[in-house]
A and B are shown apart, each in its own frame.
Chain A
Amino acid sequence: MGIESALGKGFLTTKMDTLVNWARSNAAWPMPMGLACCAIEMMAFAGPRYDAARFGSEVMRFSPRQADVMIVAGWCSYKMSHAIRRIWDQMPDPKWCIAMGACASTGGMHRCYGVVQGVDNFLPVDAYISGCPPRPDSVLHALMKIQDKIKSEHSIMLDT
């Protein structure tokens, strides 16, 4: 049915890193940090039409301990930033972060005293998504960027 029928009794050679990264990059479970309207688009991203399952990211983990990618969807107030950072600190390494939409990336239209002007003020963001709100396609694109990033990492062996 799959690759084994084409290979017969043969075998494949690869690098350990490549194999592990292939597995890791296709099982990046998101932690949905839905704060505002972007969360609606994030739900569409996980739903059947855009289907994050194609990338192995359909399992939204509401427990940070089981998640790999935090998607910060929406504007973040100073008060909320402490809760987000706590959740981020509870996620096991390795972990990645997507700042979804204009508000999470820069503060967006909430240019005022109560809103953090970009979650990168307190989180290490890997991918920024433009848009207000972004289309689910853009969230998939950011996820693919994260996958590229995971694939280019050295997970097991160090380059010596």
Chain B
Amino acid sequence: MSLQLSEPLQITIDSLNETFSEKVIEIYQSSGDTFVLVDAESIVEICTHLKEKLDYVYLSDVFGIDRYTSKERFEVVYNLLTLKNPARIFLKVRCEEENPELDSVSSVWPSASWNEREVYDMFGIRFRNHPDLRRIFMPEDFKYYPLRKEFPLLGIPGSIELPSSTPDTE
């Protein structure tokens, strides 16, 4: 199926195809959005290019997906926005189930820092060169990654401590 791209998006896609012809794995559209699957190793390079050459100054969101496949189980999606010639693009990278690790893009957009912490918290994907990779929602001593498919909906009983019902004074 041919892509239906607005003018600013066409420029973006052309520029990506031209500069990173070997790094772009797949480009597709779904529900009116444009997705670009790229090589995980060059994510920082591509993001820098998008920000500096194509004015994608606004990193709207970063989130993880558990695809629950045996190969390339996890996916991280970057939701990017350019404000000069309004366009939105979703950048995707994939990583393996065993020791999932990606490069942090917080050097490109500082706002990625907390989003990546959320992805780390929920999926256990570690980000290299992240300024402060800690859990953001769950308690720091929590041992599991709640948005992974194998994690039970109600959590693991006793894995998070409740406060003591006996006050210190009694």
Contact = CB atoms under 8 A, between A and B. Distances in A.
Interface in A121-144: 121-124
B69 interface: no
Nearest to A77: B137
Contacts of A86: 163
Nearest to B170: A89
A28 interface: no
Chain B interface residue count: which class?
Answer: 10 to 19
Which of A81, A113, A124: most chain B Cβ within 10 A?
A113
Contacts of B156: 113
Interface string B154-170: 11100011111101110
Contacts of B110: none
A89 B167 contact: yes
A113 B155 contact: yes
Contacts of A9: none
A89 B168 CA distance: 9
Nearest to A86: B163
Contacts of B168: 89
Contacts of B138: 79, 114
Say whether chain B's binding surface is mostly helix, strand, loop, or mixed. loop
A94 B72 CA distance: 58
Contacts of A78: 139, 160-162
Contacts of B137: 114
Contact of A114 (B155, B162, B163, B164): B155
Contacts of A116: 162
Interface residues of A, number: 18
A121 B167 CA distance: 15
A123 B164 CA distance: 9
Contact of B153 (A82, A84, A111, A121): A111
B146 interface: yes
Nearest to B147: A113
B56 to A, nearest CB: 33
A54 interface: no
Which of B146, B153, B156, B162: most chain A Cβ within 10 A?
B162
A154 interface: no
Interface string A91-126: 000000000000000000001111011000111100
Given A78-B139, A114-B138, A122 B155 contact: no
Contact of A79 (B139, B153, B167): B139
A65 interface: no
B151 interface: yes
Interface of B: 137-139, 146, 151-156, 160-165, 167-169
Given A79-B138, A114-B155, A122-B162, 8 more contacts: A78-B162, A79-B139, A81-B162, A82-B163, A111-B154, A113-B152, A113-B154, A113-B156
